[in-house]
């Protein structure tokens, strides 16, 4: 009997669930449940993207993650038929200082992950709700937690620390870095598409609604633009990115803003949305063409270029630059703007290959190879879950 691995990515009001065959990790289905507690809606697609089912609830629909996942898995049961669920992989934003690898979640691990909630209050509780719900729906099936922080755990002290008193570092106030599952996936793809540079000095620009960049040497992360939380570094759809902490002190003392108001400002009202006054979506800004939309894009590009320089310094040179995620994969103009005038760094874009969205988009003479590689965090999670299961003598 063939088996499947389920991959759950549970956010605040949405849940993504993907189904992979254990055989070759073929993608069989993808379910998106949105509007939990507000206007619940569910859509299921097959591996090729064709819509299999759609459902919306007017009143009295699933009100929490558990109820939403119960709907999702009720739909899934006849779809899976004879196929057995052998493991459920979960995207978990925070693994704390310890976890450099995925783990099977037992009661002790569940409590340890709950203690990390204060480090990622906007994500971790939902990730844990997903684990609890799936453990209840599939008793006995291993629940595997894959951490966004894990890939960065080998950072040297200087990339891990803030210039704060040492006791705070010891208590866990560190630069953890995020988007690790995406970077790990891209690292693996590089071995396939460009083996000669996969072991070199690589910067991956994960430019999506959340955005960060990662410096990778010999397949290992050595630094990243995200820090203690996923709000640091590059500006994002609605998040500030890097900010002088003095601005927060000023807003607290001069404006009386409290933690809740600052959280809203930093996470929901800033970045591309805040600067443009229009939208968090790069497509909207590219289409709008207003002065503020242009300035928002220019700020995003400027910050990415600065981080490119900084991470190149951390790596001691650069062999490859990889663009990935929504903007990185789909916006040739943003890629071109980030690479423009970077010949001093050995970066020369091939305009035609860039416009066509090819895998290699550097000009033939470019010292640095520039690539466009679609990311696939869910496949990374599925492959971790299966590997862990097999290491424990599973299917
Ligand atoms: P993600 O979070 O990886 O799904 O990325 C979402 C971001 O990618 C949004 O800002 C989108 O506007 C952007 N994006 C997706 N497709 C395009 C495109 N064709 N051109 C420009 N930006 C895009």
Percent of the residues in the chain that have a pLDDT greater than 90, as a whole number: 89
Q: In ligand 1, which atom is closest to the CA atom of 286?
A: 21
Instruction: Average the pLDDT over each of 21-35, 49-63, 180-194, 343-357 and give the range with the smallest value.
Output: 49-63
Average pLDDT of span 283-297: 96
pLDDT digits 0-9 by tens, 235-281 = 999 999 999 999 999 999 999 999 999 999 999 999 999 999 999 99
In the predicted structure, residue 180 carries a pLDDT above the cut 90: yes
Query: Which residue from 208, 280, 377 has its CB within 8 A of the most atoms of ligand 1, so it is best to mutate?
Result: 208
User: What are residue 369's DSSP bridge partners?
Assistant: 320
For ligand 1, the distance from its centroid to the CA atom of residue 327, given in whole angstroms, is 4
Query: Which residue from 186, 331, 357, 372 has its CB within 8 A of the most atoms of ligand 1, so it is best to mutate?
Result: 331
Greatest mean pLDDT range, 75-89, 112-126, 304-318: 304-318
Of 322, 220, 334, nearest to 285 by C-alpha is 334
For ligand 1, the distance from its centroid to the CA atom of residue 331, given in whole angstroms, is 7
| Nearest CA, atom 4, ligand 1 | 326
Q: In ligand 1, which atom is closest to the CA atom of 237?
A: 10
Assign 13 a pLDDT band (cuts: 50, 70, 90). confident
Active-site residue, 106 included: no
In the predicted structure, residue 1 carries a pLDDT above the cut 70: no
| Nearest CA, atom 15, ligand 1 | 326
- Ligand 1 is surrounded, with C-beta below 6 A, by 208-209, 237, 281-283, 286, 325-327, 330-331
Farthest CA pair distance, the chain: 65
Assign 190 a pLDDT band (cuts: 50, 70, 90). very high
For ligand 1, the distance from its centroid to the CA atom of residue 44, given in whole angstroms, is 21
CB proximity list for 352: less than 8 A, separation 6 or greater: none
| Tokens found for residue 58 | 């007017």
**What pLDDT does 392 receive?**
83
**What pLDDT does 194 receive?**
93
What 3-state DSSP class applies to 152? helix
Q: In ligand 1, which atom is closest to the CA atom of 209?
A: 2
Q: In ligand 1, which atom is closest to the CA atom of 206?
A: 3
As a whole number of angstroms, the distance between CA 12 and CA 35 comes to 9
As a whole number of angstroms, the distance between CA 389 and CA 374 comes to 26
For ligand 1, the distance from its centroid to the CA atom of residue 189, given in whole angstroms, is 21
| Nearest CA, atom 23, ligand 1 | 327
Instruction: Average the pLDDT over each of 44-58, 331-345, 358-372 and give the range with the smallest value.
Output: 44-58
Rounded to 10 degrees, what is the CA torsion of 209, 214, 218, 220? Answer: -80
For ligand 1, the distance from its centroid to the CA atom of residue 282, given in whole angstroms, is 6
Strand intervals (E) in the chain: 3-10, 15-21, 27-34, 41-46, 51-56, 84-92, 103-104, 143-147, 201-207, 211-217, 220-224, 320-324, 369-372
Query: Which residue from 328, 330, 373 has its CB within 8 A of the most atoms of ligand 1, so it is best to mutate?
Result: 330
For ligand 1, the distance from its centroid to the CA atom of residue 245, given in whole angstroms, is 29
In the predicted structure, residue 114 carries a pLDDT above the cut 90: yes
For ligand 1, the distance from its centroid to the CA atom of residue 279, given in whole angstroms, is 12
Q: What is the mean pLDDT of the chain?
A: 95
| Nearest CA, atom 17, ligand 1 | 330
**What pLDDT does 119 receive?**
85
As a whole number of angstroms, the distance between CA 224 and CA 232 comes to 10
CA 127 vs CA 57, 176, 251: distances in Å = 23, 18, 31
In the predicted structure, residue 394 carries a pLDDT above the cut 90: no
Assign 37 a pLDDT band (cuts: 50, 70, 90). confident
Strand intervals (E) in 268-334: 320-324
| Nearest CA, atom 20, ligand 1 | 331
In the predicted structure, residue 51 carries a pLDDT above the cut 60: yes
Catalytic residue among 132, 148, 170, 232: 148
What is the enclosing helix (H) or strand (E) of 296?
helix 291-315
Q: What is the DSSP letter of 344?
A: G
What 3-state DSSP class applies to 17? strand
In the predicted structure, residue 96 carries a pLDDT above the cut 70: yes
Q: In ligand 1, which atom is closest to the CA atom of 285?
A: 12
For ligand 1, the distance from its centroid to the CA atom of residue 330, given in whole angstroms, is 7
């Amino acid at each position: 009997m063939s088996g499947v691995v389920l991959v759950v990515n549970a956010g605040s009001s949405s849940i993504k669930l993907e189904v992979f065959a254990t055989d070759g990790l073929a993608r069989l289905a993808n379910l998106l449940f949105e509007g939990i507690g507000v206007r619940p809606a569910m859509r299921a697609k097959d591996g090729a993207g064709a819509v299999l089912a759609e459902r919306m609830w007017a009143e009295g629909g699933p009100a929490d993650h558990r109820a939403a996942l119960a709907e999702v898995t009720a739909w899934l049961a006849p779809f899976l038929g004879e196929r057995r669920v052998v493991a459920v992989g979960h995207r978990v934003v925070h693994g704390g200082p310890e976890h450099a690898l995925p783990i099977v979640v037992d009661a002790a691990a569940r409590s340890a992950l709950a203690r990390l909630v204060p480090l990622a209050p906007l994500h971790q509780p939902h990730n844990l709700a997903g684990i609890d719900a799936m453990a209840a729906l599939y008793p006995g099936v291993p629940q595997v937690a894959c951490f966004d922080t894990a890939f960065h755990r080998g950072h040297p002290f200087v990339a891990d620390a803030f210039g704060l008193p040492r006791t705070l570092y010891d208590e866990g106030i560190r630069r953890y870095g995020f988007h690790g599952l995406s970077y790990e996936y891209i690292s693996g793809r590089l071995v396939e598409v460009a083996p000669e540079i996969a072991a070199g000095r690589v910067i991956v620009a994960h430019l999506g609604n959340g955005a960060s960049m990662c410096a990778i040497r010999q397949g290992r992360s050595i630094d990243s633009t995200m820090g203690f939380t996923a709000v640091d570094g590059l500006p994002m759809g609605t998040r500030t990115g890097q900010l002088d902490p003095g601005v927060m002190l000023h807003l607290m003392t001069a404006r009386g803003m409290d933690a809740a108001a600052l959280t809203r400002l930093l996470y929901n009202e800033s970045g591309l949305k805040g600067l443009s006054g229009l939208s968090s979506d790069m497509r909207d800004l590219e289409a709008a063409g207003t002065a503020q939309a242009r300035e928002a894009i220019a700020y995003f590009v400027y910050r990415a270029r600065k981080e490119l320089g900084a991470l190149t310094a951390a790596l001691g040179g650069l062999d490859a630059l990889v663009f990935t995620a929504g903007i990185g994969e789909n916006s040739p103009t943003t890629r071109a703007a980030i690479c423009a005038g970077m010949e001093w760094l050995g970066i020369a874009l091939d305009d035609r290959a860039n416009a066509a969205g090819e895998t290699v988009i550097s000009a033939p003479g470019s010292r640095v190879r520039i690539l466009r590689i679609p990311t696939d965090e869910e496949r990374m999670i599925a492959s971790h879950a299966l590997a862990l299961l097999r290491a424990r003598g599973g299917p």
